[in-house]
A = this chain, B = another copy of it.
Amino acid sequence: MTTYPETQAELEQFEAEFADQLQLSTEAQDLLFREARTANTFTDEPVSEEQMRAIYELVKWAPTSMNNQPLRIVLVRSDEARARLVDLMAEGNKPKTQAAPLVAILAADNEFHEELPRVFPHFPAAKDMFGGNEAMRLRTAELNATLQIAYFILGVRAAGLAAGPMTGFDADAVTREFFPDGEHRALAVVNIGKPGPDAWFPRSPRLDFDEVVTTV
């Protein structure tokens, strides 16, 4: 991946002002944050099962509340499943979801609390606490699965691949179609592969530190 002229000045400013404040290497910063982009086109190089396992085995260590890990992932590999998913994407997302080497549906498991006795053994009451409060359980599932979606996106980039995360799809219909047990909620669809020609738009501006951060 290359550096974009429109961000070159910001990158150079970062080097001059902030780089020595970070322990993460410049190469890793570029790979995960600065040079990586949301891809809209892909080459036809396939994404292997081994790559997806490597990504998961890395990002599974990132934190969730009470280690609850509610993210569930459906890898759409068959033509039949791909066609069902593409039908439910927003119009502008259909062509790239059809063309991507691999597409993942990322969902929250609303019954994550069933695993808590195993994944968070030092608080045995946790399972019943969530079991008895559905509103809290669904909110916790969605918040933590969303954190894990972000970890997953960065994990895809860590594998040298581009991610194309999308929320433009019929979430109720995707949930019904791909999670018929009624215990999940689809939150994002992510195209995965090597970026193709004209894979991205010019980089859009980010908010300044002083617009986002206040001190009290």
- Contact flags (1/0) for A173-216 with B, using CB distance below 8 Å? 00000100000000100000000000001001111010011111
A54 contacts partner chain B, Cβ-Cβ < 8 Å: yes
Taking a contact as CB atoms under 8 Å apart, the answer to whether A75 and B149 are in contact is no
B212 touching A72 by the CB < 8 A rule? yes
Residues on the B chain within 8 Å of A135, using CB: none
* Residue interface bits A35-78, CB-to-B below 8 A is 1, else 0: 01010000000001111111111111111010101011111111
Residues of B within 8 A of A201 (CB): 122
Taking Cβ atoms with an 8 Å cutoff, the residues of A that contact B are 14, 17-19, 21-25, 27-29, 31-34, 36, 38, 48-63, 65, 67, 69, 71-78, 81, 115, 118-122, 140, 142-143, 146-151, 153-154, 157-160, 163, 165, 167-168, 178, 187, 201, 204-207, 209, 212-216
